[in-house]
Amino acid sequence: MSVTPDLVSPGEVITVSARPVDCPLLLPDDTVFELRLQSNSARSSAIDFTAELAPDGAFQSEVEVPSVFPDGRATVFLVNWEVVDWCPGYALAQASTEGRSSASCASYAATVMIDRDR
pTM, two decimal places: 0.78
**Mind listing the pLDDT tens digit for each residue in 9-43?**
999 999 999 888 777 777 777 888 899 999 999 88
pLDDT band at 93 (very low <50, low <70, confident <90, very high): very low
d(CA 3, CA 18): 9
Encode pLDDT of 67-82 as tens digits.
999 999 999 998 876 6
Whether 111 contacts 14, CB under 8 Å: no
Per-residue pLDDT at 89 exceeds 60: no
- Going by C-alpha positions, the residue among 88, 115, 113, 116 that lies closest to residue 103 is 88
DSSP state letter for 95: H
Q: Which of 49, 69, 52, 68 is nearest to 113 (CA)?
A: 69
CATH class of the domain comprising 2-114: mainly beta
- Report the pLDDT value the prediction gives residue 102, as an integer from 0 to 100: 46
Domain ranges of the chain: 2-114
- Type of residue found at 58: A
pLDDT bucket at 103, cuts 50 / 70 / 90: very low
